A and B are shown apart, each in its own frame.
Chain A
């Protein structure tokens, strides 16, 4: 294969107050023409730094100590600014992580694509600019959206626009920096599908940077695993996932939650990447299960081993030795006598804006964000609330916690009615419901030490605190007393989330509301927090409302799952039967989108841009997107509830018919035409 770009012994350091920190050390790899190379690693391992150097770009305080980045024979690190400008966008293009911030909000997306083509004079012969732009949008599966502003497009559509910009000049190399991280599972899969589609059509090479190995498995030919600024393993995607040779790769793969409904025996990673605790030898030694004394002192270098792969570990043979990957069936919680009901939510309807006086006089109502939610939680039970972003998961949690007074509906705890706002709730009621937020960086006051963060709730609720109450609770969440005198910024993301959990547990709540508490964390950290939550559930019999968009995590933890779409409960079911027989079309879509650890040739059944949006409150919210739509009925009439084994579904199609799992082509077609015509008329 012909080399397109080659990185040789790249060393990059970042300058700071305390001198230079080596961020990338001795990284070498190459990408052939048309090949998709993936770089994977935990946050802070230097993968993005490497990716940006492929565009000859570095931040002001970074400094390339040694190394070469050879692109078609020229060293990008030695090029001057003008020649780099000519190269960037034209032959090497970038798809950034967050399309919302990388598209200019004040410019129509058409002109942003036009800019790209005009800068590099890359208009193909015999084509007008307008035609080319429409062609590019068609290439990424969008209709002509050139007159729209970025905020008029959804996240997935915005990312399609940035991809259209990137491929506008038919680049040789596409650098993708976590292009799907901020997106929903279903949208993620669509983007991945689009990218592999584009690759076969345009034949460009890709450097795909991500922390998500499962997604990488779907797209990359070869994968490089980075740890602490070094490449520790390079192998083809399939080989890496089936038989990782480096202990770090192995741990990373073991940490990924999968949908196979079984618990893996292999252990995930312990500890976190700490750049200030590096041994002189192998960087991974402090966290490695295979480490010997030799590892601590001998630096490891990437060495080729059999099968076109290379690994930086002296003991790779033992690591790679096929371990019995015993899939132990999950021992589900014993079905004991029905425990008493803890929380019940009835007919909950929520909206964010209060109806103003004018609205009241005119009899207008604001569209509600969440409609008719009925939910029940028993003591010690974990119920997951699953749905895409914007489906109202967090809104429901806000209402239960009392931060958003419901427009209609009742919330009761242990039989007693809960007042709608925090202000009216008694101290005791407040204590019993504890809320854990998504982002631990934001939910811990950065100016307070852990000790005062933890003692404040105790004092507030007037709880007895013994000498080692704090130590005990820290131990409970896997930390030790040494953390008490630190500030949140001195902790890693996972540790901070543990502190947040500890703070909630400290006051002996009956119900924990976990609002996407894993999504801001690395996979290896996620796996350990899930482990922690599961042990807490067993030990303390605390009930949890677990909000997540990640079905794989949910199946490891939850007893029952509630599937939410656009503010309505589509299905309620116990976890096991949800996974084995999803029944509801939307649940099916979600399950299909969850990536496994193998290439699964996923083909999205959803259009990139729904032709119409279902009107809220009328008909089924899924109408227009549903693969099994029944004519115009779905868009017009609110679907009835059908009771199933462990819950209910909300659909026009009866449960037993759904269970037969066949999507007839007529249904598909009618989804595209009938439903839309009705809505448009």
Chain B
């Protein structure tokens, strides 16, 4: 009756039922919420009950009904259609911005942590300066500096999210790289005469992956809030594209007349952020990492 620890065989098997049962609860809940969001966004990109910019689909401000589950806004646009269509915009902007910040931040952070010395000093002072500016202020200044030609372009939003995130991710990546740089397999590579890039990407990056993955999903969970805030302030995506933050902003003076028009995008944003957060929490527990709270 010898018991067997058969870890090696199923190490790479993708999610089986067995594995699903041992994952932490928050991860499951978060994963389900995110899956619903993704399906909803894919659906919304291809089909909506009405056009997202189509005016006069019904009586403006008439409240919720079967035809218009989230009511109609001031100019008679169907809020639910706009909500559906906006889902993929929020998701794509969040992902693109976070990935940009991740690539830039990871590269800079790993290099800074591994090389050290004056390079590290300079990088870290710049990073600290950027972190010390409140993120919304930094974002607004960047958008204003970009000028009217780029205002409202998705590219600019992605860039702004990346810019806000990169310094924060740099710090995490640097801390991980500094720790890994002391391991002996890095010394082995150095003794072989490998270059800096080769050591950073072959030896250090794969071992920092856990930390960075958790950091990525944590940043991802805050991205919709940042994008929503920009939209709410009128610096986000150009209307009439229905980004959720923009929709809340547009309909906020209808809060008394037809509150249901604000609920949809608000709940959408909230559930997305909560979903991401739960997912991150579960992921970090599975990977044995603790996420750093705060933006």
* Contact in complex: A443, B5 (CB < 8 Å): no
* Contact in complex: B206, A443 (CB < 8 Å): no
The chain A residue with its CB closest to the CB of B5 is A18
Question: How many residues in B have their beta carbons less than 8 Å from beta carbons of A?
Answer: 25
Residue A264 is within 8 A (CB to CB) of chain B in the complex? no
Residue B2 is within 8 A (CB to CB) of chain A in the complex? yes
- Which residues of B does A touch, CB under 8 Å? 1-8, 22, 183-185, 187-194, 202-203, 206-207, 209
Q: Which residues of A contact B189 (CB under 8 A)?
A: 456
Task: State in angstroms the CA–CA spacing of A21 and B185 once bound together.
Answer: 32
* Contact in complex: A275, B5 (CB < 8 Å): yes
Q: Which 8 A-B pairs have the closest CB atoms?
A: A447-B206, A278-B2, A443-B184, A442-B184, A445-B185, A430-B193, A437-B184, A21-B3
Q: Which residues of B contact A503 (CB under 8 A)?
A: 188
Q: Which residues of A contact B193 (CB under 8 A)?
A: 422, 425, 427, 430, 460
Known: A430-B192, A446-B207, A448-B206. 20 other contacts (CB 8 A): A16-B5, A17-B22, A18-B6, A22-B1, A22-B2, A275-B2, A275-B5, A276-B5, A402-B191, A403-B190, A422-B190, A422-B191, A422-B193, A437-B188, A439-B184, A443-B184, A444-B185, A445-B203, A445-B207, A457-B192
What distance in Å separates the Cβ of A16 from its nearest Cβ neighbour in chain B? 6
* Set B3, B185, B207: member contacting A22, Cβ < 8 A: B3
What distance in Å separates the Cβ of B125 from its nearest Cβ neighbour in chain A? 22
The chain A residue with its CB closest to the CB of B198 is A460
- Which residues of A does B touch, CB under 8 Å? 13, 16-22, 275-276, 278-280, 401-403, 422, 425, 427, 430, 433-435, 437, 439, 442-448, 456-457, 460-461, 486, 490, 503
What distance in Å separates the Cβ of A449 from its nearest Cβ neighbour in chain B? 11
* Contact in complex: A20, B3 (CB < 8 Å): yes
Q: Which residues of B contact A13 (CB under 8 A)?
A: 3
* Contact in complex: A280, B1 (CB < 8 Å): yes
A401/B6 contact (C-beta < 8 A), A447-B209, A448-B206 known: no
* Contact in complex: A401, B194 (CB < 8 Å): no
The chain A residue with its CB closest to the CB of B7 is A18
* Set B2, B6, B191: member contacting A435, Cβ < 8 A: B191
What distance in Å separates the Cβ of B144 from its nearest Cβ neighbour in chain A? 43
Q: Which residues of A contact B7 (CB under 8 A)?
A: 17-18
What distance in Å separates the Cβ of A301 from its nearest Cβ neighbour in chain B? 15
* Set A276, A437, A443, A448: member contacting B6, Cβ < 8 A: A276
Task: State in angstroms the CA–CA spacing of A18 and B206 once bound together.
Answer: 26
Task: State in angstroms the CA–CA spacing of A228 and B127 once bound together.
Answer: 53
What distance in Å separates the Cβ of A118 from its nearest Cβ neighbour in chain B? 36
Q: Which residues of A contact B206 (CB under 8 A)?
A: 445, 447-448
Task: State in angstroms the CA–CA spacing of A279 and B1 once bound together.
Answer: 9
Q: Which residues of A contact B190 (CB under 8 A)?
A: 403, 422
* Contact in complex: B5, A435 (CB < 8 Å): no
Task: State in angstroms the CA–CA spacing of A143 and B128 once bound together.
Answer: 50
Task: State in angstroms the CA–CA spacing of A448 and B202 once bound together.
Answer: 9
The chain A residue with its CB closest to the CB of B204 is A445
Q: Which residues of B contact A20 (CB under 8 A)?
A: 3
